[in-house]
Amino acid sequence: MAAEKKVGQTNILSIDIGGTSIKTVLLDEDGNMLSEYMKSKTPAGATPKDIVTGIQDLIKPIPQTYNRVSIGFPGYVKNGIVKTAPNLAKNKWADVDLAQRVANALNHPVRLVNDADQQGLGVVEGKGFEIVFTVGTGFGTALLFDGELLPHLELAHFPINKEEDYDDYIGNKAYEEIGSDRWNKRLKKIVEIYKTVFNYDTLYIGGGNSKHIDFKLDSNIKLVTNRDGIKGGAKLWKLADKYNIFTVNPSV
């Protein structure tokens, strides 16, 4: 249940862009939800223009009590520039200044990071080495130590066999092709690989397909939701100096 709306211009509009849907909610500085959590379908083969328009349409019911915007994006992002977007339009996203485009469209400063990184900030406990998986349209990861983001690595694009990377192996397309039983076996294999390679303290698994997990999880593995993860948008601003997140201001 959303909290009562606050008056003032100190809140944060948090946006989570996915290959399947775009989500948004209004947050206060501590990450408490001040509006209903809303989402709309991401157009198939979404271009940068599609995403900006989709955001503008989705946020229309949100009260204008925010003065900054946080965005989680499904790809590699550097200084507000999108470098890759494997689950959106092909050949349309290289070096796209998405943060600038949204800042101009909404007339507020924007901080844009990978979607798994934003989710990680929203769900981790801040104790030791924590990893976040997102299993949805693709496969996302975030690495954090004592609550601080480590450099983002596109681990989804490491090969897991001769034909596939992790995105191919465990993404939604694979789920639809092979079914729940085989998909769960694959996810279990990935978890075992990460246990061996990273020796994490806690693993969090979120994303739309996490609801299909049917095997017993270790005591240090926790299921989380997109609603939990989108709250990380507040930390992009509250702890920004620590994370050295790039801010893009409107140019118009």
Domains of the chain: 11-117 (3.30.420.40), 120-228 (3.30.420.40)
| pLDDT at res. 10 | 87
CB 82 within 8 A of CB 98: yes
| pLDDT at res. 9 | 77
CB 122 within 8 A of CB 15: no
**Tens-of-pLDDT digits for all 252 residues of the chain?**
444 444 457 899 999 999 999 999 999 999 999 999 999 999 999 999 999 999 999 999 999 999 999 999 999 999 999 999 999 999 999 999 999 999 999 999 999 999 999 999 999 999 999 999 999 999 999 999 999 999 999 999 999 999 999 999 999 999 999 999 999 999 999 999 999 999 999 999 999 999 999 999 999 999 999 999 999 999 999 865 555 678 999 996
CA pair distance 217, 111, nearest whole angstrom = 34
CA pair distance 136, 123, nearest whole angstrom = 17
134: helix, strand or coil: strand
Six-digit token string for 98 = 């998405």
Following DSSP, what letter does each residue of 193-217 receive, concatenated? HHHHHH--SEEEEESGGGGG--SPP
Return the number of other C-beta atoms located less than 10 Å from residue 57's C-beta. 10
CA distances to 57, 66, 188, 197, 241 from 238, in Å? 27, 14, 35, 32, 8
Six-digit token string for 89 = 């339009």
| pLDDT at res. 244 | 60
| pLDDT at res. 99 | 97
**Burial (0-12, 13-18, 19+ Cβ within 10 Å), 84:** middle
CB 32 within 8 A of CB 3: yes
Answer whether 0.95 is exceeded by the pTM. Answer: no
